[in-house]
Amino acid sequence: MQYHKLGKTDISVSVLALGCWAFGGGAYWGDRDEKESIAIIRTALDQGVNFFDTAEGYGNGYSEEVLGKALSGRRHEAVIATKVGGSLTYDDVLEACEGSLKRLNTDYIDLYQIHWPSRTVPIEETRRALATLQEQGKVRALGVSNFGVGDLTDLLRVGRVETNQLPYSLLWRAIECEIRPKCVENKIGILCYSPLAQGLLTGRYSSADEVPEGRTRT
């Protein structure tokens, strides 16, 4: 397994990360076997994957709970990335982080990300809350997800982030036009999600009719 530094930090992460959205189940992914999810996480860890990405919004926090259980006794081997969504006010971000810490069964988060840009809460307020969490030692590094050039530019005016998590695959290459160059210019790491287009690029489906409802629009 190869490892790279996360953004400009000294945090070393495997070039392959395990995305934990599906472990949250729900209407999009369907029922999940928790024991199987835990086995997948531990197998990935055994094979050198140390980077695990989840979010409070994945199964209303259930994905975080599963990851916390799977890493019990092995937390020191893993780099955990999770995301805050919903309200991004100062107080709500602090409260959300406490919830994630509890579900993940840890006292710190390696990479804490804004899941989506807010159109109601000033980015300065959200960034101030994230800085507070860093000062308290509850968060090691900061990142964002789904930030385009405009949102990223606004954020960089008030503070740095180490990563931007974006959809990137052979079917979805829009970030190459403007977003990727902006990240490279500012030495912001790019975390690619859905690199296999949620199974569409794996050969799993032989026709569009076989693609599950909800993913057919892709």
The answer to whether residue 112 is catalytic is no
Rounded distance between C-alpha atoms, residue 143 and residue 153, angstroms: 14
Rounded distance between C-alpha atoms, residue 52 and residue 42, angstroms: 11
Q: Which of 28, 58, 90, 193 is catalytic?
A: 58
Reading across the β-sheet that carries 17-19, which strands appear in turn?
17-19, 51-53, 79-84, 109-114, 139-145, 163-167, 189-193
Rounded distance between C-alpha atoms, residue 4 and residue 16, angstroms: 10
| Paired sense of beta strands 12-14 and 3-5, if any | antiparallel
Quote the longest CA-to-CA distance of the chain: 51
What residues are labeled active site? 58
